Amino acid sequence: MPFIHVEVLEGLSTEKKQELVKEMTDMFVRIAGAPQERVFIFFEDLKRDNYARGGSLVSLLPPPSTAPAATGNEGK
């Protein structure tokens, strides 16, 4: 029986978590052949004060941009 552990920064809505649960379960059933009722998913919400990136606590960083990531193909 698969156990999937997901660590995310706090703030992910219940609706988004449910969407992730559905997609991850479906993917595991399809690829690994696991029965749906045997797929377990655990979320751990990380407090921003307990996580750092690039030498700074995430709680002190500016919020991430919501703009789409650059692909390198802009203007071609």
Domain locations in the chain as residue ranges: 3-54
The answer, yes or no, to whether residue 71 has pLDDT greater than 90, is no
Distance CA 41, CA 27 (A): 13
Spatial separation of the C-alpha atoms in residues 2 and 12, rounded to whole Å:
23
CA-to-CA dists, residue 28 to 12, 32, 46, angstroms: 22, 5, 24
pTM score of the predicted model: 0.71
pLDDT of residue 29: 96
Structure tokens at 36: 């749906």
Question: Beta-carbon neighbour count of residue 39 at 10 Å?
Answer: 19
- pLDDT on residue 76: 55
Residues classed as catalytic: 2
What's the fold here for domain 3-54?
Macrophage Migration Inhibitory Factor (3.30.429)
> Would the pLDDT of 65 be above 80?
no
Of 38 and 58, more confident: 38
Which of the four pLDDT bands, split at 50, 70 and 90, describes residue 48?
confident
